[in-house]
Chain A
């Protein structure tokens, strides 16, 4: 158990809909990262938050957005869903940037199926 929690575990929804994925980082970690894993693309970095502020963006679509709240949990919002958005979505957390705090610990993921 990495200490990172994600809900829900599974999500099935229709095209055009909007969903919210939730992540709680390990106790004490300030950074939260979101990744998408699909069969053809592998694990792709989407976005990073550090202590409530957006720090880095990867291949994140404009239909997707995220935020990190004062209690450090994060939410990833996916809107106008398409079939191609079906994937595993992982959240990871890491420490405060000191030496040894670069390791990212991943949650169990949310499997999104768009029908």
Chain B
């Protein structure tokens, strides 16, 4: 069964304290792995797509990496405005691009 597990469930950081969020996945074939940011009561905001092991993508203080079994979202020198829930999702190959989401990591960055 296709599955996505994110850890930790919640993470509290001081402003400027870098860290990483983990997304491990089990899927029969991977079309793509996606990272989203979600603020409370809002729709998920697209961040990155990763298609193959070894791929990396960066955007401001965020960097996403992919291996054959997991993905990491590295947050460098975070700011309070980075506080949000970060969601990881996989699109299994042959599945018409439906997304299977993990439960998310709630990140709180304090000044």
B-binding residues in A (CB < 8 A): 2, 4, 31, 33, 35, 42-45, 48, 50, 55-56, 58, 88, 90, 92, 94, 97, 102-109, 111
Contacts and interface: CB of A to CB of B under 8 A. Distances in A.
A35 B44 CA distance: 11
Contacts of A43: 44, 87, 89, 99, 101
6 contacts: A2-B45, A42-B101, A102-B32, A103-B46, A107-B43, A109-B43
Interface residues of B, number: 24
Interface of B: 31-32, 34, 36, 41-46, 49, 87, 89, 91, 95-104
Contacts of B32: 102
Contacts of B99: 33, 35, 43, 45, 92, 104
A85 B87 CA distance: 22
Nearest to B101: A43
B100 A45 contact: yes
A90 B89 CA distance: 15
B44 A102 contact: no
A102 B49 contact: yes
A87 B19 CA distance: 31
Given A31-B97, A94-B97, A106-B43, A42 B49 contact: no
Given A2-B43, A43-B87, A102 B31 contact: yes
A82 to B, nearest CB: 22
A42 B44 CA distance: 12
B98 A58 contact: yes
Contacts of B95: 56
Contacts of A35: 99
